[in-house]
Amino acid sequence: MLGCSRRLFYRVRLSPIRRTLSTSPVKPNPLTVAPARKRNFKFSYERSSHTIVEEPELKVPENKLDFANYQRNSYKLKISEEDAKKIPSILTLHARLVLSSKYQYSTLVRALTCQMKENEYADNKQMALFGANLLSFYVTENLISNYPRLPISILKTATDAYIGDFSLCDVAQNSWGIEQDETSNLEKYLSSEPKLFRFGRLRYDKHTTQVEKGITKFDNVTVTSLDHATAFADAVRAIVAGVYAHDGEEITKKFIQSHVLSRKIDISSMFQFREPGKLLSRLLRVKQMEPPTVRLISETGRLSNSPIFVVGCFSGDSMLAGGEGSSLKEARIRSFVNALKAFYLYKPLDSKMPSDDDFKPLFVDEGEPFY
Amino acid sequence: MQSLLREGLKACRPVTLNIQQARSVVFVRGERVRGLIRDPEDILTSNGRRYGLNDANLKPLKQFLGDEYKLTDKMILQVITHKSFAHGTRPYNEKLSILGEELLRLAASKYALAKGVVNGDASDYKFSVGDINFDCLGSLTHRLIVTNRLLSEYAESQGIDKVFFCKVALPRNYSQDQAKDYKPKAMYSTITSSLVGAIAIQRGKNTAEKFVQEKVLAGILPAINERK
């Protein structure tokens, strides 16, 4: 009895101390400045244009601004143009992409070789970096001139939808028919495949090993290892850089337009509005327009189990957008969303890009901070 | 009797008074005071300078650009306005700076590659691709060219950050007197990058690239050299 009361006493007395001593289960990260190597980017297209190549693998000249004399230490071997012409898959890829006669076959071989452990052949790492620079400029320019009012977050998501790892991986595998080198040396020997033919496929250090069908083991994360999508995307980026090196920037721009920007992405579905009414009234206030009013335009079957209401969202006398729904509330919210999308997805007629020859000054977005 | 009534009516006659209502509102300026309304003019002032489309505000940037890279006044004002200013209600430079940064990164890479061209003879360096040596890309020097630190230092060295409309969140140990010297580099770098973006949007990519080569890189590369 006595022991029990003492235990209770301690529990009562110590509990506030314990509470102050206990740490939160989610401990916040210490506030430190992240070094360049640790920088995390949200989108894969941003990561790809910030690749780092540092000194043990790079021979830096005395004068660091002498960019002509930088050299990679690992480079010792190169597939010659004559050898590259013997590889069927390289010839096919060259023909399929309708590359010019100036585009060398050995450049395609290099574009399909990623940085690997104990690899002495020239790889695509720095070509992919330059290709990423070209791609992200031309895609951003295209989006800004075609959709000048896109909010920044949607602009970046749309850019990633064009040139992120997964999209470019899709281009490489499904449009360009690039394959990865999966067979072992023994299998190649048994099928009496010449050694040279492996350079016609994408070669990279894989993150994972396929133990058996349906089981993937994530056991091989090293400095040089890449995941499937990044490796394929880097090959595409390197091929784009190759077009620049052999044919110049104008042809590269056309190449990007026909292979990347020609793909359809649905920007409208990237928007998610939490409180569309509030957002619209704030937007109209900033643009010095009258606040939104919703008016019923037509309706049918109000007393039935499937009514339809059509409403219009107005600012003063001008109708911003219409909306329909099976309840008045649904129709109203849809009209707000449509009005917001009509604003953000405004597209000028006959827009010209800054890199076009017959360029005209663009509509300049002034920006608004709510989205 | 009648006179009495007349007197009574006179007394009941309403007296007309001219009362003018005037509401006096006291605004508070400077630091926030709980319960008092802030002066709306306060948010339109940054570092003691009133926001507006006037010569005093535009002069530093106009002088810097000269006639060759002339921009419209409205655009210049947008370039020197950060998103943080006036709760983002005035035209600001965020999107211009995104385009400008992409262009800067491309122009920096092209500059490095142009230095690496092997004079039309690819046999000089075995691993060049169509006369271009890609090996310098991704190196520290190449990465340093487009960084917030150097872009903001460039803006400061050229004196184009003298007028910049922004709202800086001061660190705790800073007093209001030190506010003028506190220039967050992520914020001040947008002056340079959005200037490049604005030239691209108004005068085309070729002019913007020429601007980067002649003005920006010419200022940034010596700064990198000094840091070695």
Task: Indicate whether A221 and A73 sit together in one domain.
Answer: yes
Angle between helices A228-247 and A125-146 (to 10 degrees): 80
CA distance B167 to B47: 9
Give the residue from A268, A291, A321 where a domain finishes: A268
CA distance A197 to A83: 10
Quote the tokens at residue A299: 């309706």
C-alpha closest to that of B188 among B147, B144, B155: B155
The answer as to whether B165 is a domain residue is yes
The answer as to whether B46 is a domain residue is no
The answer as to whether A186 is a domain residue is yes
CA distance B113 to A68: 8
Task: Indicate whether A90 and A190 sit together in one domain.
Answer: yes
For the beta carbon of residue A267, count every other beta carbon within 10 angstroms.
18
The answer as to whether B106 is a domain residue is yes
The answer as to whether B9 is a domain residue is no
Q: What is the CATH number of the domain that holds A117?
A: 1.10.1520.10
Task: Indicate whether A210 and A330 sit together in one domain.
Answer: no
The answer as to whether A208 is a domain residue is yes
CA dihedral A217, A221, A227, A230 (to 10 degrees): 180
Task: Look up the domain containing A126 and give its range.
Answer: 46-268
The answer as to whether B166 is a domain residue is yes
Chain-centroid distance of CA A296 in Å reads: 42
Mutate one of A124, A130, A160 to test the B interface: name it (highest B CB count within 10 A). A130
CB A131 within 8 A of CB A241: yes
Task: Indicate whether A99 and A210 sit together in one domain.
Answer: yes
Q: What is the CATH number of the domain that holds A338?
A: 3.30.160.20
B91 closest CB neighbour out of A50, A66, A367? A367
The answer as to whether A358 is a domain residue is no
The pLDDT value given to residue A363: 85
Task: Indicate whether A333 and A285 sit together in one domain.
Answer: yes
For the beta carbon of residue A91, count every other beta carbon within 10 angstroms.
15
The answer as to whether A126 is a domain residue is yes
- Regions of chain B with pLDDT less than 70: 1-17, 118-123, 228
Mutate one of B127, B145, B220 to test the A interface: name it (highest A CB count within 10 A). B127
Residues paired with A324 in a beta bridge: A310
For the beta carbon of residue B22, count every other beta carbon within 10 angstroms.
4
One digit per residue, the tens of pLDDT, for chain A of length 371 reads 445 555 555 554 544 444 444 444 454 444 444 445 557 889 999 999 999 998 888 999 988 898 988 999 999 999 999 999 999 999 999 999 999 999 999 999 999 999 999 899 999 999 999 999 999 999 999 999 999 999 999 999 999 999 999 999 999 999 999 999 988 888 888 988 888 999 999 999 998 887 888 888 888 888 889 989 999 999 999 999 999 999 999 999 999 999 999 999 999 999 999 999 999 999 998 888 999 999 999 999 999 999 999 999 999 999 999 999 999 999 999 999 999 999 999 999 888 999 998 888 888 888 887 77
Which residues in B lie closer than 8 A to residue A256 (C-beta atoms)? none
The answer as to whether A129 is a domain residue is yes
The pLDDT value given to residue A2: 47
Task: Look up the domain containing B64 and give its range.
Answer: 51-226
CA distance B120 to A109: 22
Q: What is the CATH number of the domain that holds B201?
A: 1.10.1520.10
The number of distinct structural domains making up chain B is: 1
Quick one: A123 exposed, middle or buried, by C-beta within 10 A (0-12, 13-18, 19+)? buried
Hey, are the CB atoms on A110 and B99 less than 8 Å from each other?
A: no
pLDDT digits (tens, 9 = 90+) for B120-158: 554 578 898 988 999 999 999 999 999 999 999 999 999
ipTM of the complex: 0.86
Task: Indicate whether A105 and A159 sit together in one domain.
Answer: yes
Task: Indicate whether A314 and A222 sit together in one domain.
Answer: no
Hey, are the CB atoms on B115 and A355 less than 8 Å from each other?
A: no
The answer to whether residue A223 neighbours chain B at the CB level (below 8 Å) is: no
- Chain B nearest-CA distance from A47, in A, is 12
Which residues in B lie closer than 8 A to residue A286 (C-beta atoms)? 89
Q: Which residue of B has its CA nearest to A52?
A: B138
The answer as to whether B36 is a domain residue is no
For residue B41, give the 3-state DSSP assignment.
Answer: helix
pLDDT digits (tens, 9 = 90+) for B74-100: 999 999 999 999 888 899 999 999 999
The number of distinct structural domains making up chain A is: 2
Hey, are the CB atoms on B129 and A78 less than 8 Å from each other?
A: no
Question: b vs e for A218-238, b when ≥16 Cβ sit within 10 Å of the residue's Cβ?
Answer: eeeeeeebbbbbbbbbbbbbb
Task: Indicate whether A245 and A220 sit together in one domain.
Answer: yes
The answer as to whether A38 is a domain residue is no
The answer as to whether B146 is a domain residue is yes
The answer as to whether B32 is a domain residue is no
Question: Could you give the angle at the alpha carbon of B162 between the alpha carbons of B84 and B108, nearest 5°?
Answer: 80
Quick one: CA dihedral B150, B153, B155, B161, positive or negative? positive
Task: Indicate whether A138 and A207 sit together in one domain.
Answer: yes
The answer as to whether A17 is a domain residue is no
Which residues in B lie closer than 8 A to residue A60 (C-beta atoms)? 139, 141
Whole-model pTM: value is 0.86
SS3 content of chain B, % helix, strand, coil (to 5): 55, 5, 40
